[in-house]
Amino acid sequence: MTDSIQGALPITARNITKTYGKVHALDDVSLDVKSGEFLTLLGPSGSGKTTLLMVLAGFTRPDQGSLKFGDQEMIRTAPHLRDVGMVFQNYALFPHMTVAGNVGYPLRLRNVPMPEISQRIEKALETVQLGGYGTRKIDQLSGGQKQRVALARSIVFEPRILLMDEPLSALDKKLRDRMQIELRHLHEKLGMTTVYVTHDQREALTMSDRIAVVNHGRIMQLATPQGLYEQPANRFVADFIGDSTFLSVERHGDQITYNGVPLKTSRPVPDAASLVLMLRPERVRLATKTTKTVNEFQATASELVYQGDSYLMYATMPDGTEISLRGAIRQGTVAALPKIGDHVTLALEPGDTVLIDGRDV
């Protein structure tokens, strides 16, 4: 097995629709995955992300659409002829075979000569840090080890596309965090186009080159992690990625106002009918002195939570909306914090004043 997959393929999906009765599992979805890219499909359960992955794998046949791997149309190709690697949520390892039996299975199907099979199995196992585990039985492995065997099995035949369906969700937190980094390294080493499905936004932000946020069978936004976090396309994306509070704002010609007060912003203003101001807790500050350059809001402190490394404060705006703000704790911070019921002034830099499409999607 060569160190990096030669010629990773781009994926081109066009107008994929899948309905079950009246429900649109996938609603006219089009997607471009760049060659060698790590793209995550992120969304809540029932959003259609797994359905889309299954369409890519060939296990779900859409009602209509086109799917190309590179230049080849694949939408009507049977799953066993698509030559994609796939890792399942519950690993789907074959319990009646050893680790080597599992990893060697795709090679035996491709009539690879025996000596070469053993060689490639060992190489694949070493890549996932399980060198020498070939003779082990599946029920002797821990969850993390099973995960790696599943991974080794899916890359041993050098597919040019890798699909993963929430592979880390069955692991405990510490292991999951570690595996996220390892998967990322593996991807950088092997270079194959990877499509990853998860509902964990933290995971998506950590691992992906780009993220497609999916809901109701449609792609809400396709962007880099930073792009999604900094400039979400709509409320759903803003809400799903990170924490946020929304304040309704009005547009008067060129000006955007909140509570009648115009807002200063250096961010692009979307061309939407209704707008909201998205507040990220870590971007809102307690104002120490008044400056002309920042946006200021008057509020009443309603709740204060000590979280060790940071504090979380809830403040109620005059119109009743409760917003949250978070700040780091250093020497003297806690003593300087306002008490519950105190009047506070909150500051927001123009660079952090993000306006987004306010529609419900």
Which stretches of the chain bind another protein, using CB under 8 A? Answer: 12, 14-15, 57, 59, 61-66, 68, 73, 75-76, 78-86, 88, 90, 92-96, 105-106, 109-110, 139, 153-154, 157, 163
CB of 129 to another protein, least distance (A): 21
CA distance linking residue 295 with residue 203, whole number of Å: 33
CB of 146 to another protein, least distance (A): 12
Q: Which is nearer to another protein, 58 or 232 (CB)?
A: 58
User: Rounded to the nearest 5°, which phi and psi values hold at 189?
Assistant: -70, -50
Q: Which is nearer to another protein, 154 or 215 (CB)?
A: 154
CB of 126 to another protein, least distance (A): 20
CA distance linking residue 17 with residue 174, whole number of Å: 38
The CB density around residue 296, as the number of other CB atoms within 10 Å, is: 13
C-alpha distances in angstroms, 1 versus 98, 123, 259?
A: 21, 7, 63
CB of 140 to another protein, least distance (A): 12
Q: Which is nearer to another protein, 27 or 282 (CB)?
A: 27
CA distance linking residue 129 with residue 131, whole number of Å: 6
Contact predicate 207/42, CB 8 Å: no
Contact predicate 340/302, CB 8 Å: yes
Burial code (b: 16+ CB inside 10 Å, e: under 16) for 37-64 equals bbbbbbbeeebbbbbbbbbbbbebebee
Q: Which is nearer to another protein, 14 or 184 (CB)?
A: 14
Question: What is the dihedral sign for C-alpha 203, 204, 206, 208?
Answer: positive
Tokens found for residue 202: 């933290």
CB of 71 to another protein, least distance (A): 10
Q: Which is nearer to another protein, 83 or 239 (CB)?
A: 83
CB of 72 to another protein, least distance (A): 12
Q: Which is nearer to another protein, 79 or 132 (CB)?
A: 79
